[in-house]
Structure 1
Amino acid sequence: MDNDLQNKIDVLGLQAVDETAYNKDLKPHEETYKRAKIDINRFKNYKLYGGEHMLYSIEYIERTPIEELLKLIRLMQY
């Protein structure tokens, strides 16, 4: 994994979508994502905000400046 990408993931406090996280946090919402035509398999990282999950794709993390990502996280925490 690219060092810059890993640094962003660490700074943002993102969790990898592993089998446990998928079953606990994403699977209950699987039908909603399917109806919205969102392929949740492309999301490799996520973060919980007050019990709500926010999904992040590797592509999004790579192309978005860290300052913008941090700004969005601050907004999500309120």
Structure 2
Amino acid sequence: MPTEYKCKGSVCRGEWSEQDLQQAIEAVQEGRVGVREAVRSFGVPYTTLRRRLRSGNHRKLPLGPLSTLGQENEVKLVNHIKKL
């Protein structure tokens, strides 16, 4: 039986919320805290916060590749496979 995966870093991949990211960005932009302090306070990865501050993109995007089929066709395919 495989062992259970445990993340190695302080924050696992995707374990932070969009609200945490927004609060961290606001705190840094208002000058209340630095980037590293915001990372510790809000639990957002350092590289993510730094990249979002530089690019201006403040939304959390889904992890992994985009669906090739689209949401509607993917649901149809799943339902068809379940019927088999």
Could you say which TM-score interval applies, normalised by the shorter chain?
under 0.3
Structure number with the bigger relative contact order (C-alpha 8 A, sep ≥ 6) is 1
Structure that is richer in strand per residue: 1
TM-score (norm 1): 0.24
Of structures 1 and 2, the larger Rg is shown by 2
| Higher share of residues assigned helix | 1
